Amino acid sequence: MSATLGTATTRDAGRAAVSGRRPRRRSGRGGRGLSWALRLGSLLVAVFVWQLLTVNGVRLWLRFDQLPSPLDVYQAFRQQLGTAQYYRDLTQSLLRILTGFAIAGVLGTGAGVLLARSRLAANLLGPLLEVARPIPAIALVPIAILVFPTNEQGIVFITTTAAFFPVVVSTRHAVRSLPTTWEEALLTMGASRGYVLRTVTLPGILPGVFSGLSVGMGVAWICVISAEMISGSLGLGYRTWQAYTIVDYPAVVVGMLSIGALGWFTSAAVELAGRRLTRWLPSEQRKAR
């Protein structure tokens, strides 16, 4: 019987090789259900351990008796959901992120293409960007306060700067890694450089661009919350810091969890957009993304 199974397996592999396709792995709804169960289970276990540590006042190297319990955080969250202030803070932080991220996406993609395609731009702008890139965006808060007339514009500037450099670097590398034969083939057939840019360069660099956008979104959230804590008057970062100053620790955790939820939502939206716009990629590369 083992010989029969081995022969069948060999025959299936041979057919797949002849047809140029790999044998498909069956993954039904059971696999997805197990994946979601594991994800939900990990969250529930984390909350359960949190509850045990805080309720029992465990003091090891870390002092868990100082932390609010999940029940305290839940009650504080319910209280904030009934106030208009919470939704104003949430909306303001989201607007700052979306505005700065959109500006960074457009400018970063354009600058990355320009740096990779133009030797003059690389010589003029490259050194300036390489000097500015290692500077943390949050370190620009004093400059933003001095330069921009309002704190709101300064916070958007910091958010844009935080997301700009990951997009520039990823786009530049994506353009340079494109096979030159694609462009040369079209140019040989009489295509203009603008046509090559629209039909070859921009579609070809989309995976790299969205990799930079995904990284930039995470960095932008870190910097916008920090900027709100320093110079903001509205937003989740500002409200979280205010809760800390009045020793309202459950509200601090509510702010942290709200920031995490919004960060996950916006990052997932970027990933979804990237998958939708790169459907032409082979299935293996899509799964890797």
Give domain limits for the chain. 32-67, 69-288
**Percentage of residues in the chain having pLDDT higher than 70:** 86
Q: Which residues contact 164 (CB under 8 A, 6 or more apart)?
A: 104, 107, 108, 111, 216
Provide the 10 A C-beta neighbour count for residue 254: 27
The whole-number pLDDT of residue 288 equals: 52
Q: Given this model, what pLDDT does residue 204 score?
A: 84
Q: Is 23 left (phi over 0), alpha (psi -120 to 50) or beta?
A: beta
pLDDT of 197 reads 78
DSSP assignment string, 222-242: HHHHHHHHHH-SSSHHHHHHH
pLDDT digits (tens, 9 = 90+) for 233-280: 889 999 999 999 998 999 999 999 999 999 999 999 999 998 888 887
CA angle 38, 42, 48 (to 5 degrees): 140
Q: What is the pLDDT of residues 135-171, one digit of tens each?
A: 888 888 888 888 998 888 999 999 999 999 999 999 9
- pLDDT tens digits for range 14-58: 454 444 444 445 455 667 788 888 888 888 999 999 889 888 888
CATH of domain 69-288: 1.10.3720.10
Q: What is the DSSP string of the chain?
A: -HHHHHHHHHHHHHHHHHHT-PPPPP--HHHHHHHHHHHHHHHHHHHHHHHHHHHTT-BSSSBGGGSPPHHHHHHHHHHHHTSHHHHHHHHHHHHHHHHHHHHHHHHHHHHHHHHHH-HHHHHHHHHHHHHHTTS-GGGGHHHHHHHSSSHHHHHHHHHHHHHHHHHHHHHHHHHHTS-HHHHHHHHHTT--HHHHIIIIIHHHHHHHHHHHHHHHHHHHHHHHHHHHHHH-SSSHHHHHHHHHHTT-HHHHHHHHHHHHHHHHHHHHHHHHHHHHHTTTS-HHHHHH-
| The pLDDT of residue 101 is above 90 | yes
What lies within 8 Å, CB to CB, of 38 at 6+ separation is: none
Which pTM value belongs to this model?
0.78
Which token pair is 30?
A: 């059971």
**226's tokens:** 């920090």
CB 254 within 8 A of CB 80: yes
